[in-house]
């Protein structure tokens, strides 16, 4: 019985320690607009930024150039957020869009 408990304890440690080592420290940068998500999450030295919408009342009324205008709005928004975090667009490693 003691041997079984020892083996169980050792096997749990093997599972628990690697998972704890991978978690790192997490800091959520809360939105000031009262939204239920964070605009940025910091895990160790990496920041993960949430998605953005580029649509505004002005772009919704546009017949031509709407996509370009909304893309500029999104990038400007990322630029402002990165500035608040002490970074700029050159710090972006990966950008995914859908």
Over residues 12-45, the pLDDT tens digits come to 444 444 444 455 676 766 666 677 778 888 888 8
Q: What pLDDT score was predicted for residue 6? A: 44
By the 10 Å C-beta count (0-12 exposed, 13-18 middle, 19+ buried), 41 is classed as middle
Q: Where are the beta strands (DSSP E) in the chain?
A: 26-29, 40-43, 46-49
Mean model confidence pLDDT for the chain: 75
User: pTM of this prediction?
Assistant: 0.62
Cβ(48)–Cβ(96) below 8 Å: no
Q: What pLDDT score was predicted for residue 37? A: 77
Q: What pLDDT score was predicted for residue 16? A: 40
Ordered structural domains, the chain, with CATH: 25-98 (3.30.1330.40)
Read off the pLDDT of each residue in 45-60 and give the average, rounded to a whole number: 86
Q: Is the pLDDT of residue 1 over 80?
A: no
Cβ(41)–Cβ(27) below 8 Å: yes
């Amino acid at each position: 019985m003691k041997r079984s408990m020892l083996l169980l304890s050792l096997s749990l440690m093997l599972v628990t320690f690697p998972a704890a080592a991978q978690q790192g420290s997490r800091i959520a940068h809360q939105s000031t607009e009262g939204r239920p998500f964070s605009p940025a999450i910091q895990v160790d030295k990496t920041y993960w930024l949430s998605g953005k919408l580029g649509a505004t009342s002005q772009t919704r009324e546009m017949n031509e150039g709407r996509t370009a205008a909304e893309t500029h709005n999104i990038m400007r928004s990322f630029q402002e957020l990165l500035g608040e975090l002490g970074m700029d667009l050159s710090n972006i490693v990966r950008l995914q869009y859908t």
